[in-house]
Chain A
Amino acid sequence: MKSLSEIETTVKRASRAAGYSWGIAEEVGKSIRLSELFGFPGIKHLNQYYQNKKKENFDDIKLINKVNKSNGLSFCPITLGVNFIDQIKNIETLTKCSVEKLAFPLLLLPFLSRGSEIIGKKLLFSFDDSKFLLNFNVSISSNFWNKEIPILANQVEISFLNNEDNFSEQDWKNLYKLAEDTFVEETDSLKEGAAGAGLTDND
């Protein structure tokens, strides 16, 4: 088994050799390490992407907009990923953005995961039938576990989710009520003697 440290170092060097700057190569190293840590086939897709890059041209999205249309070429997931992290505070205000024709969408995943941590919001990444919920770079939920992830996504959507409960108020109330069963009803004597502070705070 390769260690995460070996993965990061080799990916960084390979990315530099594939034509990216050292600074970008560092970003790719960190991201693929993350991808493998979360159990997604980052190495496999990166390798395929770098092989394809030798024969095929890809387009770069420099400034990310709400809608990012293709001029025919597929977009590079690495440039998109790095710019997504760099521009995330601006993109967040759009609440949602879309990208047409993204090559190797799995390679964008770890960048989005890091982005989720930077802004403290969950992100929903969806393309075709696949959905990935990015939880603050702590975990990634997906309906695509153990399936072959496509190497081209025709239409990608990234949504910034508001920080909201994902349970109903009634569920919470019921649970809270149960939790109250661990509390002691205070008698007058307990009210007077069991708390640290005085009964009045007017002094």
Chain B
Amino acid sequence: MNIELRDPNIIMKLSRLGSFHQSRLSFLRSFLNEFKDWDYKRDLFDLDKDGFGTAVYSFKKKSRVYSLICYANKINDDERSDRVIATKWDAAFTLHDGVPLKEDIERLRNEVPKQEVGRLSYKELTLSRANKSVRVFDHVVESLSNGSQPNLDLLEKVGYLYRTTAVYGSGKFGLADRFRIKNREEINGPFRLEMMLVYLVRQFTFDQVNHVAKNRNPKSAVKLDPKICRNLGIGNSTGLGMAPFIVNHPTLLNNWILSREVALKKIREIKIAETKDISLFKECVKNSLKNITSWNTESEYQLKKIKLLLKDVRKFINFLENEFDFKKDYPFNEIYLWLEKETCEECIEYIVSIMMEPFGEIVQPLISQMSSEEEKYFNIPTERNVEDLKKILENKYSDILKIDFNKEDSNQKFWFISKNKEEPRLANRFEESGADLEQPLAIARDIKKLYERLLSLKNNLKINQFLIDNSDLRHVVRRAFIIENFPYSEIQDNTIGENIVPIDMLRLKLSFFGALKFDPRSDKWLRICMFQGAPLPNELKDYDEQWVYKTFS
């Protein structure tokens, strides 16, 4: 049986993309898998009794070494902010390429804590900063120093000791450009070194909390139980900075979504499911309920989605247990069709992610196809003609062409870069100034404009001639020729409409990172948790691949 890939016109809608969940394809899980046989070491741990100072952690294999350098600083409570406007953080980190010399550590001590206003070099690969969850950190120190383990209810509510507020890579602030690392044999996909940084930061938070507790009460302090450590991740606060990324990297976006879609297609095409795969799938679905019930948020928007998800997952488990027969041919296709008919988008994508768990042999080869050589697709095929372009627009943007941009609500928002922090922002064009400096992120509006302009032109007019007098639409002409070959490269929605929910864009990207427990704090920023339940560095040589579904077990 040949199952068609799912229709981009459905999958690339923001509400669907904003319902994506982590899976075996997610970068943090791939990272752990790819680096599990590397040697992990804590090379330096020079903190004072209050936990301030410098630490270095490394992963090494043969002659390759990656080192995380941590600078933990004292800040006042009123200086601690998750917002991008902050200028001080509890700790700042960089991943250094190789073993840092003393001079490197000193050079970076002056730069890394400054973050966006510091300067890094090509020897540094990623950069980040993080703030303590003071409530949790202080409680854990207090408990450990008194010889007891912390209150698990509190830990479960928050899920981490620290949360990062930005993770930078790919040449930002002088960091190494991607071309310097992309051909390394261990770099098998996007964001591997960002994931490494976050993972090592997580270990630093455990070491720091143990260190402070021990110094507070050397005689009676105990260490944080490794089982509790495993169930703690690293938090992350993410704002709009992430949203333009998925618009600005169309072929990369395509490759992420296409991998997911190909995995689903191949799983649906399995005629007879093996008992061990059925058991693992069922086990993951059931265990995953803990991830939903421990998913805390105050966001009405997310609470509704979680409530519906929980109801539908329970309904699905009931269906699996009491109605469904796995002996049927193509059982996962049957399951998928049932989900489409009976459950919400959040649940469909949730179960799609879990379907991948038993099928490493299907997922693994797709992981290495999730990067993109974007330069290859930059040039516009200008020898093509207007008729070709019109057909592409009609076939690939059919829903977008139906939007009426003369209506105020279709055209209400504009994306801009703030002068203060050089970060993307979204505002109402009819209420705020600055729309004349709009970023080219209103793809749907510009595609529609392009289509309307093409309608009055001769079909055989070459694109090179069209572009002479229509350079204002050049950016979308390029995109249209990209989508011709990359069907999942474009969000099939209006990113400037009245009803846009920008966190859907963030969530799409974060799901591919492997984030859990999306906690929207507004429609423009959210908190998440990464690596919760993941093995600790000294457990990597032999760990359970389905750790995501085994937290608090």
Contacts and interface: CB of A to CB of B under 8 A. Distances in A.
Interface of A: 1-6, 13, 20-24, 26-27, 30, 62-63, 82-83, 85-87, 89-90, 114, 118
A87 B174 contact: no
A3 B176 contact: yes
A13 B175 CA distance: 20
A136 to B, nearest CB: 14
Given A3-B176, A3-B177, A83-B468, A118 B379 contact: yes
Interface string B173-210: 11111110000000000000000000000000000000
B477 A6 contact: no
6 contacts: A3-B174, A26-B378, A26-B474, A26-B478, A82-B471, A83-B464
A167 B48 CA distance: 68
Interface string B153-176: 000000000000000001111111
Contacts of A118: 379
B122 A3 contact: yes
Contacts of A22: 440, 474-475
B468 A4 contact: no
A122 to B, nearest CB: 18
A117 to B, nearest CB: 9
B342 interface: no
Nearest to B438: A22
A21 B170 contact: no
A3 B175 contact: yes
Contacts of A13: 417
Contacts of A62: 468
A30 to B, nearest CB: 6
Given A1-B121, A3-B174, A118-B379, A87 B477 contact: no
Given A85-B379, A86-B467, A118-B379, A3 B171 contact: yes
B473 interface: yes
B382 interface: yes
A86 B382 CA distance: 6
Interface string B456-475: 00000001100110011111
A27 B121 CA distance: 26
B202 to A, nearest CB: 27
A contacts with B: majority SS: helix
Given A1-B121, A3-B122, A24 B174 contact: no
A21 B475 contact: yes
Contacts of A85: 379, 382
B379 A114 contact: yes
B380 interface: yes
B143 to A, nearest CB: 44
B432 interface: no
A68 to B, nearest CB: 14
A89 B383 contact: yes
Top 5 A-B pairs ranked by shortest CB distance?
A23-B474, A5-B171, A3-B171, A23-B475, A22-B440
Contacts of B478: 23, 26
Interface string B96-138: 0000000000000000000000000110000000000000000
Nearest to A115: B379
Contacts of B477: 23
The residue in A20, A22, A26 that gathers the most chain B C-beta atoms within 10 A of its C-beta is A22
A82 B475 CA distance: 13
A31 B46 CA distance: 46
A114 B170 CA distance: 23
Interface string B334-362: 00000000000000000000000000000
B546 to A, nearest CB: 36
B171 A23 contact: no
A89 B375 CA distance: 20
B177 A21 contact: no
A134 B234 CA distance: 49
A22 B176 CA distance: 26
B475 A26 contact: yes
Contacts of A5: 170-172, 177-178
Contacts of B173: 6
Contacts of A63: 468
A24 B382 contact: no
A114 B380 CA distance: 12
A4 B464 contact: no
B30 to A, nearest CB: 23
Given A21-B475, A114-B379, 17 more contacts: A3-B122, A3-B171, A3-B175, A3-B176, A4-B179, A5-B170, A6-B172, A6-B173, A21-B474, A22-B474, A23-B472, A23-B477, A30-B378, A82-B471, A86-B464, A89-B382, A90-B464
Contacts of A2: 174
Given A21-B471, A23-B474, A26-B475, A86 B122 contact: no
A2 B177 CA distance: 10
